[in-house]
Structure 1
Amino acid sequence: MSQTQVLARKWRPKNFSELTGQEHVVRALGNALEQNRLHHAYLFTGTRGVGKTTIARILAKSLNCEAGITSAPCGTCQACVQIDSGSFIDLIELDAASNTQVDNMRELLENALYAPTCARFKIYIIDEVHMLSKSAFNAMLKTLEEPPEHVKFILATTDPQKIPITVLSRCLQFNLKQIPPVQIAHHLQQVLSKESIPNDIPSIQFIARAAQGSMRDALSLLDQAIAFGEGKIDEAGVRDMLGIIDQGYLFDMLEALAQKDGLTLLSLAGEMEAQCLSFDTVLQELAALLHRLALAQAVPEAISEDTLDSARILALAQRLPPEDVQLFYQIALHGRSDLSLAPDEYAGFTMTLLRMLAFMPDDFSENHQAASTAAPKTQSPDASAIRHSQPVIDQLPQGSAGALSNFNWPELVQQLKLTGMAKMLAQYSEAKAVSVDQIELCIPDVHKHLLEKKYQDKIQTAMQAYFGKPITISFSVGSITGMTPAVLKQREETEKQAQAIATIEKDPIVQELIEQFDAKLIVSSIKPIQK
């Protein structure tokens, strides 16, 4: 029984027209070959699996094809066939990762002085060339400075930064790009069609995304998926194989955020924990979905009908404000880095979701805003509630800079119609000085990245709308007392949590369970009721 050839080898491109995703390199090499403008040394750089050595071998055929130097080698002459099979005597391939020493390079370069046995050019393909030792590079440099006419060097590397500049300057360099998932998916579908293997579009798109720009990795994953699915490829099997999160969870979470439904968010988190899903992977997938949402909002045509869940993405893009999508994306990224610091992964994940919920805009009706703006400036029995719930900046006398006794910035922030990063900037700021038409705010150094002008302008606009008159907001970076809206809100949540725990602990039934059955109260499972 003959051994099945892996797809990455079986479907390796044999000419430039079969290459996927490197059109810029193909065009440049094709023009040079057709015009016979040849260089003695070529360097191909790029991440793994994007086609460096494949292009090197096609170039070797182009240079030695018996039909002549061409951008379209015949593929049938003795030189082309032998290069494809790896048996061409005048093509020497070297893996620098296992041949780093200067002695190996000197031996190779001494042989380069001899004319090719049966070819037009003697060609050396050196893969991972950055692994050569300094002495080996120096030996190569002498040959590159005065190369024999019959020798061509084709170098490949994933790390060009480690190649000496003296070598780089003597090579014609081409940087190969990571291949877009759409192009990978299209190529995989062509391969599966020729292999007559049943498949569906979502599974191919999952594999294309998982390959992270590498066609070789994509074909290896395709091989794995075929074995996993016993000769066929379907979405469920590929999800299991790759450990992909059910996208339904992600959409449901964003729907819950759009509705400000914290209970559903925690319920979804509990379901995912019960399935032992990786919360790091969940946040990674959530960030990827948010990226697609942002694309749908900014460039709708970027979401084609072939895109996974395109209809649901476009629908959700209409519901969530763009600045909220941007904010959620940043919070998801920070949430991933915070997971290792959290008490446990569940706590870190749910805290990330709650942070998204906390920084969403509060709903205040236009009537409420109008009533707040027109609030009386003098104390009266009927206005006492208003005086306790809203700041009184316009009651401060002229020239009272620094007078903060009657000014409550945290309460004002709750009533301003701020969203996204502007709300976050306000939450982490502290009022330093107040006058009749000016407020100076201070933000600690750790949060100074929030000080973008557009966020400051949004706060100033919201303040002017709230008070119905011109107000100037200025910011500084420095030390604060710590009594920011964010800190006060966290303190309030902590107090609520403590009250909830105390209430449960005092419950007669709970006390009886603890006394009779030596039960233990899991404090982390107690959540205060959201009113």
Structure 2
Amino acid sequence: MSYLVLARKYRPRNFGEMVGQEHVVQALTNALTQQRLHHAYLFTGTRGVGKTTVSRILAKSLNCQGADGSGGITATPCGVCQACTEIDAGRFVDYTELDAASNRGVDEVQGLLEQAVYKPVQGRFKVFMIDEVHMLTNTAFNAMLKTLEEPPEYLKFVLATTDPQKVPVTVLSRCLQFNLRPMAPETVHEHLVRVLGTEQVPAEPGALRLLARAARGSMRDALSLTDQAIAYGNGTLAEAGVRQMLGSADRGHVHRLVEALAQGDGRTVVETVEAMRDAGLSAASTLEEMTAVLQAMAVLQAVPARAAQQDAGDPDAQEAARLAALMPADETQLLYSMCLHGRAELGLAPDEYAALTMVLLRLLAFKPAAEDGATEKKTLLNPAPPAEARPPAPAPVARAEPPAVVVAPQLPEPPAPAPMPAPLAAELPPPTSAAPAVQAAGQRLPVVDAPRRPAAPTAPA
């Protein structure tokens, strides 16, 4: 018998086996229990979160006949009747799955809609499931609008897409939309523990945490990576082997880098980066791991009470709490921002490890300088000290100003008068005495009107 991969072997068969999508399960369960069924459903979400799985479970719930053949519409399909087993096997005649990524034209959609005029052959409802519906052309969307709005009472549409923004609004308005959320790492970790316990595969907790983080919210990716890790570790899951398989940076290197940056030790930073280069670790995964550690540190610095709520058996959480006490909160935020934007610089540099070194050393360049044993922040302007810390201003001292000395300007000597005729000289008044050249200090110079000089007589012709 051929081997069945974990992602297909442990695909949920009913709503009770679904994990991480409680909001969708509750809505569909209540609708099936109350028989309030819509004619079109749209499931959105990233890859591997259960869109196709929910569609198949919904089809089984609508067509389940019960173990004794007398069942009806139910939220808990039996899984043993003909409809349930054939839908799981993918050969139920009244359940049709169309891959819109490869059948995106109007002809394929019209061929599917031509089957809508015929009633179900074996089941209670016909179910048309269109996967990646956003890949259909505009003509194909327009061709299915009328049938999607008013289908026959025995026909149900189930649409699934990873990009609902590309689905026309006219289609969205005709469907009930359910958004399937990405899986939390804790949810993926718990599911992997159950799966590996059933498979009887020994696994280290650190290895499962690595796989849960590497899945990035997709349960199918987590199970596929687990299959690969089992083959890589020859039947066992060791943390060192999984880390080497994923090419992710060792958290020990990341913790050493963060501690060296907190202490301003550039030599340790450079040596650690060189050691990671020799080990062949990815520079991009190093920055990614650093952002995860710094995010945990920032949370602990903002909410110290979270430290008591963390798992005592998680060494990464304990190390994050220790590093959070070494680095100030503002430096943590600065380093997080640099690591986040530094990932975009790796592809621009000729050597990604040179770019990694520059990203890490950039924090040391902006690290506050220590003066007289105390760390002070660099600022462009020195802030004014508070009023209570300012020294009292000295009282103003009256300054004695010297008396002003007024120096009279030196008046130019008047030119010698021209000789006048004797008759005119006799008529003029006697000349007054000249004004003194320098007056005493503080006295004003008198203004003396100079006598007007008569015009010289013209010589007779």
In which range does the TM-score fall when normalised by the shorter chain? 0.7 to 0.9
Q: Does 1:356 align with 2:387?
A: no
Q: Structure 1, residues 108-136: CA drift from partner, whole Å, max 9, x if none?
A: 11111111012111001110011111111
Report what 2:56 is aligned to: 57
Q: Is the 8 A contact 1:253 1:265 kept in 2?
A: yes
Q: Is the 8 A contact 1:296 1:303 kept in 2?
A: no
Report what 1:315 is aligned to: 322
Report what 1:147 is aligned to: 151
Q: Is the 8 A contact 2:247 2:282 kept in 1?
A: no
Corresponding pairs, count: 383
Q: Is the 8 A contact 2:61 2:75 kept in 1?
A: yes
Structure 1 counterpart SS, 2:370: coil
TM-superposed CA distance for 1:155, in Å, is 0.4
**Which moved further from structure 2: 290-299 or 72-81?**
290-299
Q: Does 1:127 align with 2:131?
A: yes
Q: Is the 8 A contact 2:248 2:282 kept in 1?
A: no
Choose which of 302, 323, 337 in structure 2 pairs with 1:330: 337
Report what 2:193 is aligned to: 189
Report what 2:21 is aligned to: 22
How is 1:160-309 mapped onto 2 (pairs within 5 angstroms)?
160-299=164-303, 300=306, 303-305=310-312, 307=314, 309=316
Q: Structure 1, residues 28-77: CA drift from partner, whole Å, max 9, x if none?
A: 11111111111000000011001000011011111111122121111122
**Which moved further from structure 2: 156-165 or 336-345?**
336-345
Q: Is the 8 A contact 2:248 2:281 kept in 1?
A: no
Report what 2:394 is aligned to: none
Change (3 A) 1:259 1:195: same
Report what 2:446 is aligned to: none
Take 1:342 and 1:86, find their aligned partners in 2: how far apart are those partners? 49
Structure with the larger RCO, 1 or 2 (CA within 8 Å, 6+ apart) = 2
Structure 1 counterpart SS, 2:325: helix
TM-superposed CA distance for 1:162, in Å, is 1.1
5+ long unaligned stretches in structure 1: 369-415, 430-438, 440-458, 471-531
Change (3 A) 1:92 1:131: same
Q: Is the 8 A contact 1:293 1:317 kept in 2?
A: yes
Take 2:345 and 2:105, find their aligned partners in 1: how far apart are those partners? 44
Structure 1 counterpart SS, 2:3: coil
Letter in 1 for 2:385: Q
Q: Is the 8 A contact 1:205 1:308 kept in 2?
A: no
Change (3 A) 1:13 1:318: same
Change (3 A) 1:362 1:31: same
Take 2:242 and 2:315, find their aligned partners in 1: how far apart are those partners? 14
TM-superposed CA distance for 1:279, in Å, is 2.1
Report what 1:464 is aligned to: 385
Take 1:363 and 1:249, find their aligned partners in 2: how far apart are those partners? 27
Take 1:343 and 1:109, find their aligned partners in 2: how far apart are those partners? 54
RMSD of equivalent CA atoms: 2.1
Q: TM-score, normalised by structure 2?
A: 0.79
Q: Structure 1, residues 196-239: CA drift from partner, whole Å, max 9, x if none?
A: 01111010110111010000011010111111111111111101
Take 2:157 and 2:108, find their aligned partners in 1: how far apart are those partners? 16
Take 1:36 and 1:323, find their aligned partners in 2: how far apart are those partners? 56
Letter in 2 for 1:356: L
Q: Is the 8 A contact 1:202 1:308 kept in 2?
A: no
TM-superposed CA distance for 1:334, in Å, is 2.2
Choose which of 324, 346, 352 in structure 2 pairs with 1:345: 352
**Matched residues, percent identical?**
55
Q: Is the 8 A contact 1:342 1:348 kept in 2?
A: yes
Report what 1:6 is aligned to: 5
**Which moved further from structure 2: 124-133 or 339-348?**
339-348
Q: Does 1:116 align with 2:109?
A: no
Take 1:133 and 1:341, find their aligned partners in 2: how far apart are those partners? 37
Letter in 2 for 1:40: H
Q: TM-score, normalised by structure 1?
A: 0.69
Take 1:354 and 1:467, find their aligned partners in 2: how far apart are those partners? 40
TM-superposed CA distance for 1:285, in Å, is 1.6
Take 1:103 and 1:278, find their aligned partners in 2: how far apart are those partners? 47
Change (3 A) 1:343 1:42: closer
Take 2:112 and 2:354, find their aligned partners in 1: how far apart are those partners? 59
Q: Structure 1, residues 223-269: CA drift from partner, whole Å, max 9, x if none?
A: 11111111111111101110011111111111112222122112212
Report what 2:405 is aligned to: none
Rg larger in 1 or in 2? 2
- Report which of the two has the higher share of helix: 1
